[in-house]
Chain A
């Protein structure tokens, strides 16, 4: 119970960063913190006490294994998070080139 609550507190730290920060790069950093917290939550659900990793070894007596399904899903999720980070940094570079600042309260006018 306690690891789940702490993982959700990490998620809320990232959410607080997205709501209140004005620098565009701090917002990108908050996105990465939120994505790390979500991946950790999935793996915490699939953990089995006194079990080994889900790979068979030679001459292994039948021991129990950790749940392998959340690991397969989180593997996909980590790579998608990387692609989102790359896209956000590309947009931030373009915004800096046009508006000469990274302050989101000054990037307001929508026309070209």
Chain B
């Protein structure tokens, strides 16, 4: 199981690098779509079917919105730097990765999580709530306030996007 997940994450990294370096914008959006679909498959392998449905649908929607953002671009914009002038940035990212990996030894091993809070939820969810889906009872019964906050964030972002794209009126003299 771990081997399959490692191979799929390597495929995601290759698809992400292709999405960044290719010059045609439509091809890079298609490559971004493939990153999302491999992530859906990884969610199914990690036993999270709720998340696989949401990730798949949200990925398709963001692809449609991104394609709307690329219509009518006739000129190309790409960096003309050589590889050597970007070497300091790559070096600093490698140093960053080294320090994060040093801190990773405090996380429990892959496959053996600490299970303290989930023990209570799994044991008492069907008795206190009556819902069979434990994740739905967490987001709508035990932690419903976070769902209210997320609904507020979604509402504000949609309000902001509609307000930005409004037609500007002219003042008649």
Contact = CB atoms under 8 A, between A and B. Distances in A.
**A and B, direct touch (CB closer than 8 Å):** yes
Interface of A: 1-10, 12-17, 19-23, 25-26, 28-30, 32-33, 36, 39-40, 43-49, 51-56, 65-69, 71-76, 78-87, 89-94, 96, 101-103
A66 B111 CA distance: 10
Interface in B6-31: 6, 9-10, 12-13, 16-17, 19-20, 25, 28-29
Contact of A56 (B73, B107, B132, B157): B132
Interface residues of B, number: 81
B96 A12 contact: yes
Contacts of A94: 164-165
A82 B62 contact: yes
Q: Is the interface of A mostly helix, strand, loop or mixed?
A: helix
A84 B157 contact: yes
Contact of B19 (A20, A33, A54, A96): A33
Given A81-B58, A91-B164, A92-B69, A2 B126 contact: no
30 contacts: A3-B2, A4-B110, A6-B13, A7-B9, A16-B20, A21-B79, A26-B28, A32-B32, A33-B19, A33-B35, A43-B48, A46-B118, A48-B112, A54-B133, A65-B134, A68-B134, A69-B121, A71-B135, A72-B138, A74-B51, A76-B139, A76-B147, A76-B150, A78-B51, A79-B58, A80-B150, A85-B65, A89-B65, A92-B69, A101-B77
A1 B6 CA distance: 10
A1 B109 contact: yes
Interface in B97-126: 97, 100-101, 104, 107, 109-113, 115, 117-118, 121-122, 126
A27 to B, nearest CB: 10
Interface in B35-86: 35-36, 39, 42-43, 46-51, 54-55, 58, 61-62, 65-66, 68-70, 73, 75, 77-79, 86
B154 A87 contact: no
B90 interface: yes
Nearest to B160: A87
B171 interface: no
B32 A29 contact: yes
Contacts of A78: 51, 54-55, 58
Contacts of B109: 1
